[in-house]
Amino acid sequence: MAKQKGIFSLITGVVLGAAAAYLSNEKNRAKTKKAIESTAVKIKKAETEYKKDPTAFKKKVVARGKKVIRKTVAKAKKTKAKTQKS
């Protein structure tokens, strides 16, 4: 690997080190494998749905995104209000 300098290489090294430490445990490897497999299934379902009707899929995704944004903003406002009181 070529020598790299800068913040990016530092961050990459830290992330890879943390991943190696996490994955050194057998239970963590099993959890990670299970999460990857379930994500792959979800991706395949989404791909099939998109191929069926791209326009409907896009509308569905945008609606979900807006819902998540509204919930996140409401939660942030609630947290902000709590921190301002204290």
What would the DSSP string read from start to end of 33-69? HHHHHHHHHHHHHHHHHHHH-HHHHHHHHHHHHHHHH
Count other C-beta atoms under 10 Å from residue 46's C-beta: 13
Considering the entire predicted model, what is its pTM? 0.57
What would the pLDDT profile of 9-65 be if each residue is shown by its tens digit?
Answer: 888 889 999 999 988 999 999 999 999 999 999 999 999 999 999 999 999 999 999
Rama region for 72: left / alpha / beta (φ>0; ψ in -120 to 50; rest): alpha
Interatomic CA distance for residues 6 and 79, integer angstroms: 35
Domain coordinates of the chain in residue numbers?
1-52, 53-86
